[in-house]
Copies of this chain bind each other. A is one copy, B any other.
């Protein structure tokens, strides 16, 4: 599981996104192709056809290729919708998490996508397939306990889903719908040269947590400590991520972010997605990248900076702001601060990383499902 991600996190520059002409494509290239087919369908059929019975039908604003799709509901309201798969043995292992954490994480990953659109989450649906042996246990009760706890925290309503049997492995699909005021959704494509690049919270913790889990570390069943140890905090970053719902909604509502993406694949990969969609480049100052403080407290095999630059699943937000607005950002929201880590450039040099004054290419090195 994710051994590629772990290996990738130890290296600095690997380009997994170089164009591959023959099959198999990696999933990014594949999604790009599906996106082109969906676009061709849209173009072929002209504007979205409307039922003659509906005077003001919905219309698509942004489809495949962002953290969530955006469609217009009225002259006042837009909706964002996202869906995320969590597959046993690929995204999690039964032995290293708890049903409650898994329920939390299933919702958290999709809430993070909605936050990355600058939208406020409202509704969710959950599809879950489990094998017969899991069905006979308390697994699903505990799973929904974790799910409902996070849903309640953000006042997101569970409105549907599906339950099925599977032959062997647990599989989860988590769908969240968010809303924004008309035109306020923040796409990946709005960054302009000169924009400042910010990131919420601190990076690398989730990837370190994954390495610890794969190395055999486990959370204690019950801890007598008042605050979790550095090691346990890293495990929690991986097992029980916190989506930046407050920051996302604020940045959208206030029209502060020009572009945004959540850090699910890793800073290097997700920055490259944002830059590609915006048609720009970026210069990141390695010294400013906020590294999870727990990484420094522990001696790990992997380099903390490398984990922060390439490790996935931190679910922090990466966003860009016009220079004149940057100083108006609040110090923190829900206890989470933001850090200015670089600038958007004109794109001639792509994404670059400045390490002690030496600029080098900053290439994606996150997790890839298929190569």
Contact = CB atoms under 8 A, between A and B. Distances in A.
Interface of A: 23-24, 27, 30-31, 34, 37-38, 41-42, 44-45, 48-49, 51, 53-58, 60, 63-64, 68-69, 71, 73-74, 76-77, 79, 81-85, 87-91, 120, 122-123, 125, 127, 129, 132, 135-136, 138, 140, 144, 148, 151-152, 155, 157-169, 171, 173, 175, 177, 179-181, 249, 253, 369-370
A165 B90 contact: yes
Contact of A171 (B166, B181, B369): B166
16 contacts: A24-B135, A45-B152, A48-B155, A56-B76, A63-B160, A64-B158, A64-B161, A71-B123, A71-B177, A81-B175, A83-B160, A83-B173, A85-B127, A129-B171, A166-B169, A168-B168
A165 to B, nearest CB: 4
Given A45-B152, A54-B179, A56-B76, A125 B157 contact: no
A37 B71 CA distance: 29
Nearest to A84: B162
A127 B177 CA distance: 16
A51 B154 CA distance: 11
B83 A161 contact: yes
Nearest to A180: B54
A181 B31 CA distance: 33
Contact of A158 (B38, B91, B155): B38
Contacts of A68: 160
A57 B179 contact: yes
B159 A125 contact: no
A157 B60 contact: yes
Given A48-B155, A164-B85, A57 B122 contact: yes
